[in-house]
Amino acid sequence: MAFALSTMQLESSAFAAGGAIPTKHTGEGDDTSPALSWQGAPEGTKSFAVICHDPDAPLVQNGGYGFVHWVLYNLPDSTTSLTENSGEGTVGINHFGKTGYGGPMPPEGHGVHQYYFWVLALDKATDLPEGLSMHELLKQVEPHLLGMNRLVGTYQRD
């Protein structure tokens, strides 16, 4: 299946769709991942992956664009939410060069950036190794993608 939105719904108790991401979830605050929850996974879902990506970042590398803040995978099909600063799943590498979540931190004076939190529903349980990049993860899971959707939050540094 191609990468296309599904009817799955993703939300956060930390911010509304299209709303500002609280400072505590950014590089200027505590840098903790926000709580997320989802519902309506497609029938046959066996696992999930989560990605946070900033397409507004002025960065082009390896044929991609933007800045990757979070790559999380190997989440079992029983997972329908992540608590704030969750330790669930297996962490990939972000563009800060670290594993785990790295919150929004756009360049000063760069204006408002949009942060896309994606949840991907997969038709097989995964046992992928820690430290995959977003591109490596997507290459592995694309053949198993049943559905996906996103929640967009914003952040701007003063």
Instruction: Determine the pLDDT at residue 108.
Output: 87
Residue 18 · residue 25 · CB < 8 Å: no
Instruction: Say if residue 2's pLDDT is above 60.
Output: no
CATH code given to domain 1-47+67-130 = 3.90.280.10
Give the mean pLDDT of 129-152: 96
Domain regions of the chain by residue span: 1-47+67-130
| Full-model pTM | 0.94
Instruction: Tell me the CA distances in angstroms from 91 to 12, 88, 131, one per residue in order.
Output: 20, 9, 6
Give the mean pLDDT of 67-92: 97
Residue 60 CB-density burial (10 A; 0-12 exposed, 13-18 middle, 19+ buried): exposed
Instruction: Say if residue 1's pLDDT is above 60.
Output: no
Residue 106 · residue 57 · CB < 8 Å: yes
pLDDT class for 63, splitting at 50, 70, 90?
A: low
Q: How far apart are CA 45 and CA 13, in angstroms?
A: 24
